[in-house]
Structure 1
Amino acid sequence: MIKNIIRTELLKIKRKGFWLLCFLGPFGVILMQIVNYGVRKEYLLKQSDDDWSYYLENVISFTPLAVVLGIAILTSLMASIEDETNAWKQLMALPVSRLNVYLSKFVILFCLFLLSSCLLMFFTLGFGLFLHLGHTVPYFSIFKYSFYPFFAAIPVLALQLWIAVVSKNQGIPITTGIMGTILSYSGDALPDWLIWKWPSLVNAWEKPILNVVLGITFGCVLYLAGMFDFNRRDVK
């Protein structure tokens, strides 16, 4: 049953720009570095003895912003598909579980961001090799800075999806998403317990993996809370 629902959801988003946004997010992050290194490459290469590490630091400075903003946009678009055609009542009238409907939307969004993380990893590696930053390529660091921010942002994804599917006005989740994006840009200034800080991989213990563990754990909690709340609510 869940496979059929996911297949139906994929058909709904086919011409809605989801795949384009999935590509534009990671491409935009690397495009910033293309411009950055294109304008002042010689200066940047003198800033550190480890050119790869300095390059990855520049990449990660924009990644949390792209992840949180992308989550806000895609979750709102996912919910607006039903809102535009008043399809919630029709969908709920079908012999399908609300829990499966909610799960299908979350799974699709999760997979889209996994794909974006994969693209970011390949774009980061490709441009780094193009810049000839050194023979010792830090493959694990590239993987870490490509995937960790998304895993740490799973609570943001769960929260934004929850707000989007229960809101009659999609301006609410968009506003929440923009505020979250601004918060994520603040980085070090935020307390460690705030979920919008976690994608930056910054914490008092200087261990990015803690943000990932917290992200996955509290992401599951918020997902379950949103799913059961959606299950008991009246249809829009």
Structure 2
Amino acid sequence: MIRNLIVIEFLKIKRKGFWLLTLLGPFGVVLMQMVNYGVRKDYLLKQSDNDWEYFLDNVHSFTPLAMILGIAILTSLMASVEDETSSWKQLLALPVTKWSVYLSKFTVVFSLLFFSSCLLMIFTLGFGIFLDLGKPIPYRGILQYSFYPFLAALPVLALQLWVAVVSQNQGIPITTGIIGTIFVFWSSALPDWVIWKWSSLENKWESPLLNVVLGISVGIVFYVAGMLDFNRRDVK
């Protein structure tokens, strides 16, 4: 049943621009560095002791912003697919449970963001090789910078989806997403417990993995809370 619901959700978002947004996020992040290195490559290389590490840091400086903004847009669009056609009642009239509907929507957005992280890894590696930054290529670092922000942002994903599916006005989750994006801009000044900071991979212990562990753990808590709340609410 869950598998069928997920397939249906993917069919619903066909021709809705979801896949384009999934591509534009990572491409835009790397495109910023294409411009950056295209204009002042020699200067940037002189600033670094490790060209690959410096390049990855530059790429990562835009990743959290793209991730949080992408989460806000995708979750809102996912909920608006039902809102636009007033099809919540028809959907839940089927022999399916509310929790399975909620899980299918979460799974679709999760999959899109995971795919976006895969593209970020490919684009980052490809442009780094194009720049001829030397060897050895830090494959582990590329993986971390590509997937850690996504995993650390899972609480934001769970929260944004929760707000989106229970809101009759999609301006509310969009507003929440904008506020979260503002938080990302000021992440270095935020305390470590703020979930919008975690995708920056910064904390006072200088352990990016800690942000990932917190992201997965708190993300599960927020997901369960959102699912339980959605399950007890009346249909829109």
SS of the aligned residue for 1:134 comes to coil
Superposed CA RMSD in Å reads: 0.5
Alignment of 1:121-132 (within 5 A): 121-132=121-132
Letter of the structure 1 residue corresponding to residue 133 of structure 2: L
Distance 1:35 1:186 in 2: 24
Match of 2:101 in 1: 101
Moved more, 213-222 or 2-11: 2-11
Mapped partners of 1:47, 1:137: distance in 2: 19
- Equivalent AA in structure 2 for residue 65 of structure 1: L
Q: Which amino acid is the alignment partner of residue 145 of structure 2?
A: Y
- Counterpart of 1:63, as a letter, is T
Distance 2:132 2:187 in 1: 30
Which residue type is aligned with residue 185 of structure 1?
F
Say whether the 8 Å CA contact 1:64–1:185 is kept in structure 2.
no
Unaligned runs of 5+ in 2: none
Letter in 1 for 2:220: C
Tell me, what secondary structure is at the counterpart of 1:46? Answer: helix
Q: Percent identity?
A: 72
Alignment partner, residue 32 of structure 2:
32
- The answer for the alignment partner of 2:141 in structure 1 is 141
Alignment partner, residue 3 of structure 1: 3
Moved over 6 A (4+): none
| Length, aligned pairs only | 236
- Distance in 2 between residues matched to 1:91 and 1:224, nearest whole Å: 21
Letter matched to residue 157 of structure 2: L
1: CA distance, partners of 2:82 / 2:220? 24
Q: Deviations over 1:146-203 (max 9, x none)?
A: 0000000000000000000000000000010011011012121010000000000000
Q: TM-score, normalised by structure 2?
A: 0.99
Q: What is the aligned partner in structure 2 of residue 171 from structure 1?
A: 171
Residue 38 of structure 2 aligns to a residue whose secondary structure is helix
> Structure 1, unaligned stretches of length 5 or more?
none
Separation (CA, whole Å) in 1 of partners of 2:135 and 2:222: 43
